[in-house]
Structure 1
Amino acid sequence: MLMWDGLYSRALERAKGALPGTGRILLAYNTNIDAVKYLDPHDLEGRIERAGRDEVLRYSEELPDRIREIPHLLGGILWSIKRGKAAELFVENMHVRQYMREWGWNELRMGGQVGIMANLLGGVYGIPVIAHVPQISELQANLFKDGPIYVPKVEKGILKFVHPKEFSGDEESLTHYIYEFPRGFEVLGIRAPRENRFIGSADDYNPNLYIRPEFRENFEEIAEMVQLAIISGLQALTKENYAGPFEEIERHLEILNERGIPVHLEFAFTPDETVRRKLVDILGKFTSVGLNEVELASVMEVLGEKELAELLLAHDPVDPLAVVEAMRKLAEVTGVRRIHFHTYGYYIALTSYTGEHIRDSLLFAALAAAAKAKLGDVRNLEDVGRALDVPVNEKAVDVEGRLKEEFGLKEGIARVEEGQLSFVPTKIVARPKSTVGIGDTISSSAFVCEFALRG
């Protein structure tokens, strides 16, 4: 692991030198408030028994598409615990929303991929960001860090950009309930193989991909001001409501593509198969996509690759050769130039272009994720450096060995017909303070750092 320690240190120094020169970044579309609940096994078991154990266990095997009753919520939580994997479902039933409110939370945090990325990129790295915030309540605004984080505001017909705290909005607070559990958490004989969380989304704006009029009416002007864009928040759409939002998204992509602005899609678990198919259809309009094994498996399912989808979820750590096969199929079908896969223990990127900066951006992202897990909150780039002493995942040695044998991987890089395969073993924090936002930290850090290092 000494080689990786040296590569990590060098990647951090390169990133620290390059990130301040990154231009403005557009972040759209989802922001909310996370109400984080740290699960107690005795409390959870009691709730399962009262809701009906058999019914709850049924949904722990196969997730419903939405949460319509309490067994759906508790079964979803058990689904995540059993697999140690994150999942998110929309809560459409008001009785269940009231149940979650009464269950309570331990803390409130910034939520939504856009909110988390804005606080990281703008509040920690100091990179100017323009964020889409569906509802700017006082609580939501105050969860944004200080720094170059801006939202559009129209005053007397003039488009301005202000920090969310200066927006003076009194809009709704959009709350998502995050149920976190540690490694080894056990209930009803089900033991979590690793720490993770289940998310119940209880707002009516993000699931319908509400896009503010400031964005709709001024998007061309906004696009002229940015150098990179990250799109997220499409995961709760359904076959009933996706048509209008996708029409607007494709308009935005056309404007960004015309200006040559690289655009990343941050995928998330998308229960609706129709929406997943549509995402695959438009993926070629993005430069990049980021996903984990659950999300990659769900995409393989809609491509008719059921055996490959099952293989992606069959092993721990995730079979790297299955990952690469799935990435190649996705690149072939869509033409997307950069696919970034992240899982517990390692990351892989498949790109149509080459260079050490791709691997180094993954290393920087792994440090940022480890710092977040270790510290709970990352305040600055110096905090990212505090993760250098976190050990590199030893289980990734076998993963690296298989990639070396198959592709001739050397120092995390291999040339393949499609361009380049980049691999890094991650740093594992034994007792993370939180897992919320880790995936968003990984993907946004890697994407932005890669383009900063490319110069």
Structure 2
Amino acid sequence: MRPTSSSSFSRGGSSTNASISRCGVTRKVNERETPLHAGEEQTWRILYERARARLPEYVFVGFNANIDRIIRVDDLPPGAFSFQGGNLLRRKLETSMERRAAQEWFVDDPAFYRRAVAAFDAHGQTEIGGQAGIASVHLAGMGVPHVRCFVPGICRECATMLQKRGVVPLDGTAPPPCDERHTHLVFEYGGDEKRIDAARRANRFIASPKTHPGKPLFDAHALARLPSLVIPCTRGFFSGYQYLTTEEEFLEARNQLRAMHRAFSSFRSHIECVTIDHEEVLAMLTRRVLPEAHSVGCNEQELGLILTSLGREPAPPPGGGHFDPPGLVEGALTAHRSLGVQRLHLHTYGLSVLVHSLPISHPAGARDALMAAARAACARAGGDRRILLPRIGDILRNAAESLPPPVLPGIYDDGERMVLIVPALLSVPVRKTAGLGDTISSTAFVCDPF
């Protein structure tokens, strides 16, 4: 991995520059200058100022990229949902807004979805979407010199978008033109700017087709040249497994992950989760694929689904005024233990919880990676100010109530795992929420020196 330079984040906004080393040397924070009891907010602001992140030279990304149509709910005219079946879409959007939850509806009626895409064709604006698309464009813009993105069934417009942003699409087939299956509808709604809490936060609701033009799998041609695709990438960020449907497909995905690990011993893989409401698909993902990765990332909604699928007590998600930091930490610990992965990252409103198997050589570097991720998300979200959650000291103490005292600010060693609980900077007011989780997770993963 190479140290990031001050210009590496320049395309993401000046707010991220403080997390980058100008001299190219990662240096540890002098903990004596930031005593634990000097006041938590002051401590964390100093740590944010001094955090240094490092980027790898090569990153491999797969498997889902699409066109996102970003639609501001406040800008929609009356009657926007007056097409056939539009009331169902409106009700699902309203439920998401009531819960302030990042939800996605996988539409299994192609005719209805075609009508919905046509109805909103004149609204909002388009940009690259899909977790792989968002992550690859973000990482290239952040300064990773070589980002390779493999997206089966990628459309011509998506491939062009990736290339223009410095990403190398790897699917060897000639990309077809886009159709409605390549477009996702992303409805953004604002929060209460006077209340900084999970119950009134800005968020988004996504409507997307249940079927995808391509499965998140390598074809025979790609498998034959897999070593040349992976080497010399030291990080692989993967998503899109919600489009697999059978046991055979999930077993093939598992075998392909194993093949990538065999191809290059320095390769570390990460799977980013999505909200999956199909119990059988979720069960196959949690049992067949997630345990094969080195790292797993999720938000609070996805963590609850994973725990339920594993037969564990789900962590209560934020929403409706409920925010349970100790429950989220315990949920992350349980998921990490049950999945058997080396690293699990929970990104939720105002907090990142990272659980690492021991040994971990540079926990302060992992903490720096989480702070770099928060700054990158703030740059994407827009806004004029960067703040921490009110009463952040109380929140952190509450979150860590089951853990031993920290060995460094935000870093806890329970003898089996290293647990990091880091307050995430928030952007106020939030102007964009789509893709924030992918930005946080991909940044933290590629910069984590594990």
Check whether TM > 0.5: yes
Q: In the aligned structure 2, how far is the partner of 1:76 from the partner of 1:217? A: 43
Against the structure 1 CA distance between its residues 83 and 138, is the aligned structure 2 distance closer, same or farther, given a 3 Å change threshold? same
Is residue 118 of structure 1 aligned with residue 125 of structure 2? no
| Mapping 1:285-304, distance limit 5 Å | 285-304=292-311
Give CA deviations for 1:255-301 in whole Å, capped at 9, x if unaligned.
Answer: 12323321111011011111211122132211110111110111121
Q: In the aligned structure 2, how far is the partner of 1:273 from the partner of 1:309? A: 14
The answer (yes or no) to whether the contact 2:137–2:166 under 8 Å persists in 1 is no
Structure 1 unmatched ranges of 5 or more: 52-68, 155-166, 186-190, 376-386
The answer (yes or no) to whether the contact 1:340–1:349 under 8 Å persists in 2 is yes
Bigger proportion of residues as helix = 1
The answer (yes or no) to whether the contact 1:235–1:271 under 8 Å persists in 2 is no
The answer (yes or no) to whether the contact 1:122–1:148 under 8 Å persists in 2 is yes
Q: In the aligned structure 2, how far is the partner of 1:359 from the partner of 1:83? A: 30
Is residue 399 of structure 1 aligned with residue 403 of structure 2? no
Aligned partner (choices 340, 343, 346) of residue 341 of structure 1: 346
Is residue 202 of structure 1 aligned with residue 202 of structure 2? no
Aligned partner (choices 149, 168, 188) of residue 167 of structure 2: 149
Give CA deviations for 1:333-365 in whole Å, capped at 9, x if unaligned.
Answer: 221111100111111101113321111111111
Q: 1:75 is matched with which residue?
A: 91
The answer (yes or no) to whether the contact 2:96–2:205 under 8 Å persists in 1 is yes
Q: 2:112 is matched with which residue?
A: 95
| Mapping 1:3-402, distance limit 5 Å | 3-11=43-51, 14-15=52-53, 18-19=54-55, 22-40=56-74, 43=77, 69-93=85-109, 94-104=111-121, 105-144=123-162, 146=164, 148-152=166-170, 169-173=175-179, 174-184=182-192, 193-202=200-209, 204-205=211-212, 208-209=215-216, 211=218, 214-237=221-244, 241-258=245-262, 259-260=264-265, 261-282=267-288, 283-305=290-312, 308-309=313-314, 311-313=316-318, 316=321, 318-353=323-358, 354=360, 355-374=363-382, 390-402=386-398
Against the structure 1 CA distance between its residues 208 and 91, is the aligned structure 2 distance closer, same or farther, given a 3 Å change threshold? farther
| Residue 310 of structure 1, CA deviation | 5.8
Q: Tell me the amino acid that sits aligned with residue 398 of structure 1.
A: D
Q: Tell me the amino acid that sits aligned with residue 215 of structure 1.
A: A
| Residue 179 of structure 1, CA deviation | 0.9
Q: In the aligned structure 1, how far is the partner of 2:322 from the partner of 2:370? A: 18
Structure 1 stretch displaced more, 29-38 or 202-211: 202-211
Structure 1 stretch displaced more, 408-417 or 310-319: 310-319
The aligned length equals: 394
Against the structure 1 CA distance between its residues 137 and 298, is the aligned structure 2 distance closer, same or farther, given a 3 Å change threshold? closer
Against the structure 1 CA distance between its residues 125 and 318, is the aligned structure 2 distance closer, same or farther, given a 3 Å change threshold? farther
Amino-acid identity (%): 27
Give CA deviations for 1:375-433 in whole Å, capped at 9, x if unaligned.
Answer: 7xxxxxxxxxxx9x612222433221214543223411111132211011111112222
RMSD of aligned alpha carbons? 2.8
Q: Tell me the amino acid that sits aligned with residue 263 of structure 1.
A: S
Report SS of the residue matched to 1:443.
helix
Q: 1:420 is matched with which residue?
A: 418
Structure 2 unmatched ranges of 5 or more: 1-40
Against the structure 1 CA distance between its residues 434 and 42, is the aligned structure 2 distance closer, same or farther, given a 3 Å change threshold? closer
